[in-house]
Amino acid sequence: MSEPQFKITLAQLNPTVGDVPGNAAKARAAREKAQADGADLVVLPELFICGYPPEDLVQKPAFQAACRAAVEELARETAGGGPAMLIGTPWVDDGKLYNACALLDDGRITALRFKANLPNYGVFDEKRLFARGPAAGPVTVKGVRVGVPICEDIWLEESEEYENIVECLAETGAEILVVPNGSPYARDKNDLRLSVAVARVTESGLPLIYLNQIGGQDELVFDGASFALNADMSVAAQLPAFQESIATLTWTKSDAGWRCSGHVVPLPEGDKGDYAACVLGLRDYVRKNGFPGVLLGVSGGIDSALCAAIAVDALGADAVRGVMLPFRYTAQVSLDDAAKLAAALGIRYEVLPIADAVNGFEKILSVPFAGLPRDITEENLQARTRGTLLMAMSNKTGAMVVTTGNKSEMSVGYATLYGDMNGGFNPIKDIYKTEVFRLSSLRNSWKPDGALGPSGEVIPVNIITRPPTAELRENQTDQDSLPPYDVLDGILERLVEREEPLATIIAAGFDKDVVTRIDRLLNIAEYKRRQAAPGVKVTEKNFGRDRRYPITNRFRDNGKPLPKPDETLVTRAGKVSAEAFEG
C-alpha cells in the first residue's frame, strides 16, 4: 500500500496594494496552476487579496467590502472541485477588523483564522489597525489537519500578552504548519527567519512551510525566499528570492509524520541581496504607480552612476533617460565619465548646460541681495536649477525623476546636487556611501537574475576609483567638511542603527570632535530628510517610517558618560499593594 500524499502549492506572488481585482486574478491563476499539478491546497501570502501592508486603507468600509466580495467569489469558484485555497484577507467579524486567512473549498469559506500576535514596531502598525484574534486549532484540508499561524504568530517574544499559537496548534492535532507572511527584506534576514522557523519546528515536532510575498510597496521590499522545513529541521524546499514563484510540494506521510523533498534554490546574500532589493523596489514603484519610465541627473559621480545601473536593471535601457546638467564648476572628467556610463548602459543621454538659467536667477536676485556678500547661497543655485529642470522634464514627459542621494550624505544634510532630493523615488536612500562603492564594483562583475541591463562592466572604473568631487552644498561651511566615508559611515551606523550614546562611540576609538560634529549635522538635517523622496529600505532602521524624531528638538547628547540612576530616591510599591491597585 502506498504512503499517503498531500500536495501543497506555494504561490509566492507580487500583489499590489488596493488592486483587489488584480490580486484576485493572480490568486485564480495560481489555483489553476495548482490544479494542473494535482495539488490539494494552494496557499497565498498574508493579506494577499488587499496587498500588504494596506496601512489605513484597510479601515475604509468600502475597501473591506471589496476584499470580502473578492474572497467570496473565489470561494464560489471552488465548487467544481480542485484544490482548496488559503488566502490572506482583511475580515470584519462582529464589528471588529481582523488580519485573517480564509480557507476556500467546496464552494464555501470553510474556515477562518485570525492573526493573534500583532506587530507594532519598525514599519509595522497592526495593533492600531486590527483586533487581536483568538488562539484556534488547525483547519482540515482533504483530511489533513493544517495549522495556520500568521506571520508574527511564530515570532515568539517574552511578554504576557503574547499567545503561543504554535503550541496551541500542536496540542490540538495539527500535522503541518503553514505560515503565510508579509515579511519585508532586510540585510541578512534570511538567517533570522530560518532560526525562528527551526525553533518552532523544534518545539512542536511539526514540519513548517514559510510562505512570503515578493514585491516593492513604497519603501518596503518583500523578497519572497519562501521555504519549507521537515520535522527533523532539514530544509525540504527553498524558493528563489526577489521573483515570483509557484511551486507544488509533495508531502508524504509515514510513521514519522509528513515529509517533503523539494528543490532548493540558492539565495543572494549581503551586498547582492541589497542590490537585488534596490532593483525590485524601484521597478515596482515605477510600474505600480504607472510611470512610463524614469529620468535622472547623471553627474559623472558614483551615486548617479549606481542609480542609473539600478534603473536599467529594473526597467530596461529604453525606459531610462540620463541628463548631464553642467555648470562652470563641472570638470571635464565628469563630462567624460557620464558619457561613458550612458554608452555602457545604452540609455538615452543629453547634455544641457545650465549657465543661462543660473545666471538668470542671479540677475533676478541681484536686487534683494544688493549689499550682501557672496556666499554659499549662490553656489546652491546650480543645485536648485538642476532640480527645477529635472522636474520640468518629468512634468512634460511623465517620466519619474530618480533621486540619487546616498544614506551617508542625506543623513548629515549634504544632499542637493543632481536630484539628490528632488524627485519621485530613491533606490539608494538606505545605502551608505561605502556600500555605494561596493555595489558599483559588484555590478561590474555580477547582475541579479531577471535584471534587464547588460552584463559586464557597466559603471566605468574611473567613476569608482576617482575621489569624490568636493562641490559646496546647501548649509555646508568649512567647519562642516566630512571625514572619510569609512569613518563617517562607522559613526552613522552607531548613531542611527544602534542609537549609541556619543560617549560609547568615542570610547570605541572615534575622534570626539568628529563624532560631536556628525551628531550635530544629523540632528539639524531632520527637516531635510522629511522632505526627501521615498526610497528602498534595506536595513532594519532607516530614515523612512522607522525614524520618528521631532524636527523642533533642543536635546543634544553632550558626549559625557551617562549618569547612573539613583535607585535610593525611588519608593516602590510592594507587590501586594500594586496588585490591589491594579484590581
For 557, the grid coordinates are 547628547
Q: CB of 112 within 8 A of CB of 69?
A: no
In the chain, % helix, strand, coil (3-state, to 5) comes to 40, 20, 40
Q: CB of 231 within 8 A of CB of 200?
A: no
Nearest in space to 305 (alpha carbons), one of 322, 319, 293, 318: 322
In the block, cell 471589496 appears at 66
Cβ-based neighbour number of residue 137 at 10 Å: 16
Strands 176-181 and 144-147: parallel
Is 433 catalytic? The answer is no
Which are the contacts of 506, defined by CB distance < 8 A and separation ≥ 6? Answer: 512, 515, 559
The DSSP call for residue 551 is S
Provide the terminal-to-terminal Cα distance of the chain, rounded to the nearest Å.
Answer: 61
Is 33 catalytic? The answer is no
| Per annotation, catalytic residue among 46, 435, 474, 500 | 46
Alpha carbon distance 266, 239 (integer Å): 8
Nearest in space to 10 (alpha carbons), one of 44, 35, 59, 48: 44
| Per annotation, catalytic residue among 101, 151, 168, 278 | 151
- Strand-by-strand arrangement of the 41-43 sheet: 108-114, 96-105, 84-93, 41-43, 5-12, 245-254, 257-260
Is 46 catalytic? The answer is yes
Alpha carbon distance 147, 463 (integer Å): 53
Strands 41-43 and 5-12: parallel
| Per annotation, catalytic residue among 7, 50, 101, 115 | 115
The strand ranges marked E within 2-107 are: 5-12, 41-43, 84-93, 96-105
**Torsions phi, psi for 3 (to 5 deg):** -75, 145
Dmax (CA) of the chain = 98
108 torsion bin: left (phi>0), alpha (psi -120 to 50), beta (else): beta
Alpha carbon distance 351, 326 (integer Å): 7
The DSSP call for residue 369 is T
Residue 86 three-state SS: strand
Active site members: 46, 115, 151
